[in-house]
Structure 1
Amino acid sequence: MNYISKQNIKVNGPITLPTKKKIYTILRSPHVHKKSREQFKWFIHKRVFMVYNVKSNCLKQIDLPSGVKLEQKKC
């Protein structure tokens, strides 16, 4: 956010979107004990930032941590 504040860009956000939850169930034993299972949960959190008055090459210079995606949409 330091880069954005230096460039005099207007930002609204973060706006939180609903969290998606995926549950995976795996058998603990491959042959017997079908009732013995293990569950794993995967949560996907999404946030939206509305950015105004920005040049397209300006967003390419922002360093994002791993797992963070940047999508550009024109309104």
Structure 2
Amino acid sequence: MNAPMELEPTEVLRVKLSGLVREHRDLDEAIHVLETSGRGDQLAIRRLKKRKLLLKDQISRLEDLLTPDIIA
């Protein structure tokens, strides 16, 4: 009962994936607000979009790791 709780490697990946998806969604909302408000600095918007693309790549890699290979 007092033993330290350790997560399985796949659970660690799922937690990380969840955080990345949340951050990606937050960036999407922030970019939308900046673009629609007309007050957004174009350089800042470009940087946010670049960060969003990096997150998308990380999300894709983690999803590939978590999805078992299916031999057809």
Ranked by relative contact order (alpha carbons within 8 Å, sequence separation 6 or more), the top structure is 2
Point out the structure with max Rg over C-alpha. 1
Regarding TM over 0.5, the answer is no
Q: Which has the higher strand share?
A: 1
More helix by share: 2
Q: Report the TM-score, using the length of structure 1 for normalisation.
A: 0.23
Normalising by structure 2, we get a TM-score of 0.24
